[in-house]
Amino acid sequence: MPSTQTKKLKKSSLALGKISALGADLIKDGMTIFTFCYSQTVLEIFKKAKTQKKDFQVICSETRPNLTGIIMAKELAKLNIPVTITVDVLALQNLRQSDLFLFGVDSLTSTKKIINKNGTTLMIKLAKMLQVPSFACTSLKKSANEKQAKMMLNKTRPSKEIWYKAPSKIMLRNPAYDLTELVDITGIICEKGILKTGN
């Protein structure tokens, strides 16, 4: 009989397959899609759209300070998907050129909020302001209770990511995650379908 771990992996794989198919359906020929940070789920959506021979391009925000957006850009380049990497401060201009904003999620909270890489909230707010549809791409299994959410939001990353040898009198702040209201996004692409939220 399959082990519990094998069953979990199978369910996870099936969920990812459903999410990638749903996400790819949103991508149309000629579209520009904006993304922030690295997400395996979002990457699978792009892979699926590529196998469907869709003509689209991706703008990756570099995602400072540890530049995970560059990892995403490299993966897209390997797939021969047209991709541009830009600095985070160009997000407004980049979203103005985009038809869609897809991003991953570290956790969904019990209070209907999103926990993800710090900076996600800013990108979502800009997309909402510009009326660019934004979708969280995640399995509903990625959930956090109140205690877990608080621990995540209190987590900080090494200050040297910002400034490797900063003078001792300068304080550095590098929180790992931020919190976004679900009402600020268009929907959640998950194994249950595309769940509409509030934007």
Residues with active-site annotation: 37, 106
Calculate helix-pair angle for 4-26, 40-51, nearest 10 degrees: 60
Spatial separation of the C-alpha atoms in residues 197 and 21, rounded to whole Å: 20
Contact call for residues 75 and 69 (beta carbons, < 8 A): no
Beta-strand (E) ranges in the chain?
A: 31-36, 56-61, 83-86, 100-104, 107-109, 113-117, 134-137, 143-144, 177-181, 187-190, 193-196
The rounded distance, in Å, linking the Cα atoms of 136 and 130 is: 17
β-sheet with 113-117: strand ranges across: 143-144, 107-109, 113-117, 177-181
